[in-house]
Structure 1
């Protein structure tokens, strides 16, 4: 059964499995504010269905899981917009995934960059096709990961590797992502869908309450997560008001290398709110 009540996502249900597809192939499934809200609502909707035992989040098509954030939406936005609109929406998505009673499996069938890596890391398990790529390339736009990436990445791979990926913005293969502990498993492209179905069936056959409590207990080990997320949001909001953010996003759309200025004292007096 297919649920197409949304503009940017759709849901397929088969027995106890609910699969949520991000469906913006024209922009490599990049997420804007509306898409984040729709993913959140879809997760809550399938979670309320008594038949649901496992949720799979994936991308429609072969090119991308979630190719990143929709930079077109971010280009002319201020830190006030980020704090008032965007960050609360991503926080709601985090809570929907992490507080779901059901295991949420990220099936990364293509590029998971920027927000794609961040949303995958919100999930309980991550399985990737061999051709998938991961990365936090926000630094190339003059900003930092702003949907929990600085916190969850460090928790999964350690602070040194997290700083390497965040400060360089480089992309990594699914194989390297598995090697550093960012994902659970990498599968050949040909066997990917079969493996996702197999793992989903294994999860669906498990004891639902024990899985829920196990998920809650593991999530509780991240004792400073909320404090870190608040700091990340505050710093991200400040960066939305900088010249380097304007230059980075402008260079992206003009297909050129950015020329970052860095910090200067006259930046202190800027007011773009």
Structure 2
């Protein structure tokens, strides 16, 4: 896949996506968001892809925010449309993907960049990373799900503090409050993400998808338990369930087909 602002490659069933605007600190402009929407859709429908690692080019920034110049003259209607389209096509698409997305946060994750990382299912941060939502310094609030996902991850009090002060925090602090899963040295960042996906790749694909759906339902709907029950039941109808049980009885590694 050839993109202007992204690098993408599938290797060993992992889709690597690099936001490749290093000179602009990988800021999210319209074209980058459009390309992200396309590659996310590709990941969802491609059976070869078992997981995704999303990172930024260079060692300074994961994504340092949105491209402010593009929307500096927007009115209210345009601003609402900007947030709605971005959430639907990129941020929600990542969160609701049946493939596990890991954000490898290699530097600044600010504004839309942190929102992008929070949309991913797992976050790993390099020890030099800084994370924050500075939108109130521009007279705005987070518009790509930041108020919702930050609250879900760190709780109401901490979310309000981080959003209203606009203060950025270190990777170590982010791990402490549950915003990221792991903090590692910059050199180990991609390896840590790959290590997790190498384990996930050994598990049943349809069960992974069902688990993501059920966990999301616990937060985004009022029928999480019912979603879990139905997803649990559907797992019994899969070839992967039969293979998993057979492999367990025969004391051998399972070979899942994703069917």
TM-score range, shorter chain: 0.7 to 0.9
Alpha carbons 2:83, 2:143 under 8 Å: kept: no
Secondary structure of the residue that 2:179 maps to in structure 1?
Answer: coil
Give the corresponding residue for 1:88. Answer: 85
Give the corresponding residue for 2:148. Answer: 151
Give the Cα separation in 1 of the matches to 2:5 and 2:166: 27
Give the corresponding residue for 1:9. Answer: 6
User: Deviation string for 1:92-119 (max 9, x for gaps)?
Assistant: 2123212322111111111110001111
Give the Cα separation in 1 of the matches to 2:8 and 2:190: 16
Give the Cα separation in 2 of the matches to 1:99 and 1:86: 17
User: Deviation string for 1:127-161 (max 9, x for gaps)?
Assistant: 11101111001011111111000011011101000
Q: Which moved more, 1:15-24 or 1:168-177?
A: 15-24
Give the corresponding residue for 2:41. Answer: 44
Secondary structure of the residue that 1:220 maps to in structure 2?
Answer: helix
Give the corresponding residue for 1:242. Answer: none
Alpha carbons 1:91, 1:147 under 8 Å: kept: no
Alpha-carbon offset, residue 53 of structure 1: 0.5
* 1:223/1:101 CA distance change after superposition, 3 Å: closer
Alpha-carbon offset, residue 224 of structure 1: 5.8
Secondary structure of the residue that 1:181 maps to in structure 2?
Answer: coil
Give the corresponding residue for 1:117. Answer: 114
Alpha carbons 1:129, 1:188 under 8 Å: kept: yes
Runs of 4+ deviating beyond 4 Å:
none
Q: Is residue 192 from structure 1 mapped to residue 161 from structure 2 by the alignment?
A: no
Alpha-carbon offset, residue 185 of structure 1: 0.7
Paired residues for 1:91-102 under 5 Å? 91-102=88-99
Give the corresponding residue for 2:137. Answer: 140
Secondary structure of the residue that 1:119 maps to in structure 2?
Answer: helix
Structure 1, unaligned runs of 5 or more: 226-273
Secondary structure of the residue that 1:101 maps to in structure 2?
Answer: coil
Alpha-carbon offset, residue 63 of structure 1: 1.0
Give the Cα separation in 2 of the matches to 1:158 and 1:95: 20
Give the TM-score normalised by structure 1: 0.78
